[in-house]
A and B are shown apart, each in its own frame.
Chain A
Amino acid sequence: MSEMTYAQAARLGLKEEMDRDPTVWALGEDLGFEGGMAGQYKDLQAEFGTDRIVDTPISEATIMGAAIGGALAGTRPIAEMRFSDFAMCAVDELVNQAAKARYMFGGQARVPMVARMPIGIRGGIAAQHSQSPEAWYTHVPGLVVVTPATPADNRGLLKAAIRCDDPVVYMEHKGLWGASGEVDEGDVEPLPLGVARTVCKGDDLTIVTWAAMVGVAESAAMTLRAMGISVEVIDLRTLWPWDKDAVFHSVRKTGRLLVVHEAVQIGGFGGEISAEVSEHLFEHLKGPVKRMGGARIPIPFSIPLEEAYMISAEQVAEKARSFF
């Protein structure tokens, strides 16, 4: 086991996959010298060359389109978009091309690419650099959506995304780049996609969450435990497909479900989870499923306003107490 950050772990996973498979390559802005916004590509260009870590012009549509072309032509590209906000310059390529090619072409085509687009609030970068649009992509048939929450997961899930034959929208959370955790370097296997992680076990309430809200929910669970409420926290890890079995299993046990996400609550993926659980586990529920998400406002710049948008462990604990 070694301690490393979320960004370092992603770099490790990428390097391992690049070592293993010579058709894996990445393209994006400022990957060579800068090594990516958080050093997640650090020194990889020096090691693998400029054909495998490709510095691109500021041309998001072509970064995404080229990744699709590279995938159709037999390689495994990673399209680095820097911010999910800039990936919006290339939604057409992702949604109309990457997600559709296999189906439209009757199975002749596969698009084994990763569209890497960090989400979330990092502090003070306002409306066009802080969004969490993960729910958009869960709505698009053909796409896989991954949202890692820990260093170990960011290594294992990135490896899985790279090996996946479907286009994967890979959404790291910018607020987690520096978060550190244990990574077992000896275990080089990818994590399975679509399998949740139970963060802590509990009997009274299930909290389902992902990305940066995992840590928040975990600390809320600790507070609640001290108050005699036993909470099970589930980190979904993958939003499409999502681990319905794990969630259903937990809710059957606890009878209560709270879904927490940083993304805007309205139209968020919490709605889908809530609907599925309400529809299929109604008789197991001791009360209505509840959701917590962001207000339906752009992310404001000013500190107190940004804080007003964010969900704290105290708020999660308070919401959890409202079940009892």
Chain B
Amino acid sequence: MAQDQANEPARIFDMFRKMLLIRAFEEAAGENFFAGNVRGSVHQYIGEEAIAVGICANLRDDDLLTSYHRGHGHSIAKGADPRAMMLELFGRVGGTSGGKGGSMHIADFSVGMLGANGVIADGCTISVGAAQAIKLLKQDKIIVNFIGDGGINRGPFMEALNWAKVYELPVLFVCENNQIAATTTTKTVTAGDGIAARAESYGIPAVTIDGNDLLLVDRTAAKLISEIRGGGGPRLMQAMTYRLRGHFAHDKALYRAEGEAEAALEHEPVRRAEAWLLEQGISESEITNAKEEAEARIAQYVEDAHNAPWPDLKAAFTDVQDVGAPVPGAGQ
């Protein structure tokens, strides 16, 4: 784990707590998927938590973020209410989107989290537009666009990089490279020297780091974000990581070599951050307490979600559009 004098153990411990909260949220999301309480698909962020947490720790509340289908961790890291998120996964009243979006469309605009996305790489172009708006409004915010390694082979990623550089927009592209896209190993379908090289070919400064190293993500994010905020234009961070679970909760990941996921546990970000904290003098019991606290909080939210009411059917017809809004029963 990279060390830095500036990294106060207390600050890192706070970040660690966020990671634990994400981990507990994702475990609960998976369990409740299997129990039939959460429908659709659940893409867990387990094993990648250090990236979202390390980056968002360096963002302001008014900074913006776009995500992809694996968006729970980004949301929690940006400050979304995990209780409302759990209610959303259960499709209940009180969910971040009133139960209308679910896991794949998790969003919390109140904290600048402009949405997970069911369509790969669409967040890239949306981020470019948001950055144009930031410029137009003369704000000093930035936007972070998270994308998976598989997503870089869609045109919108390349178009967004080009555009962001042409107008020197305040975008931090973060590619969470877990090396696999659904069942396809990304490098088998990706030419060239990789993600960072693509950004560099457009003149965008890019760094590749160990995304499971919380302190390193934190420090790198601090630097990149201050450069962007200072008017330096877009940056790209490629954060190497490993998805410890299947693509979605019901994927058994049989495409993996035997023992691969077990071996990866050694490098997983929660353990590593924990080891660093212990070295810094945080006690075992403080760590245990933090874990229990995260799990208890999430368990409570699951219970709340079970008890929350289902949305009224009228809700299906709201928030479609103002002009020509649907009228229940009409035109049917």
Contacts and interface: CB of A to CB of B under 8 A. Distances in A.
Interface of A: 29-30, 33-34, 55-62, 85-86, 88-89, 123-129, 265-266, 291-293, 295-298, 300-305, 308-309
A296 to B, nearest CB: 5
Contacts of B121: 58
Nearest to B182: A30
A243 to B, nearest CB: 25
Nearest to A311: B332
B105 A295 contact: no
Contact of B102 (A85, A88, A301): A301
Nearest to A291: B332
Given A86-B119, A127-B100, A302-B95, 12 more contacts: A55-B188, A58-B121, A59-B153, A292-B332, A295-B328, A302-B91, A302-B102, A302-B310, A302-B311, A305-B315, A308-B316, A309-B316
A295 B184 contact: no
A301 B104 CA distance: 10
B39 A124 contact: yes
A54 to B, nearest CB: 10
A296 B99 CA distance: 18
B332 A29 contact: no
Q: How large is the interface on B (under 10, 10 to 19, 20 to 34, 35 or more residues)?
A: 35 or more
A22 to B, nearest CB: 24
16 contacts: A33-B183, A85-B118, A124-B40, A128-B105, A295-B317, A295-B326, A295-B332, A298-B320, A300-B99, A301-B100, A301-B105, A302-B92, A302-B315, A304-B313, A305-B99, A308-B316
B150 interface: yes
B190 interface: yes
Nearest to A303: B91
Contacts of B91: 124, 301-305
Contacts of B120: 58
Minimum-distance CB pairs A-B, first 9 = A124-B39, A302-B91, A124-B40, A128-B118, A301-B102, A302-B99, A57-B153, A57-B189, A305-B316
Contacts of A297: 316-317, 320, 326
Interface string B91-133: 1100101111110110000000000011111000000000000
B39 A123 contact: yes
A127 B101 CA distance: 7
B239 to A, nearest CB: 19
Contacts of B188: 55
B182 A125 contact: no
A125 B40 contact: yes
Given A124-B39, A301-B40, A58 B154 contact: yes
A33 to B, nearest CB: 5
A298 B150 CA distance: 27
A308 B316 CA distance: 8
Contacts of B331: 265-266, 295-296
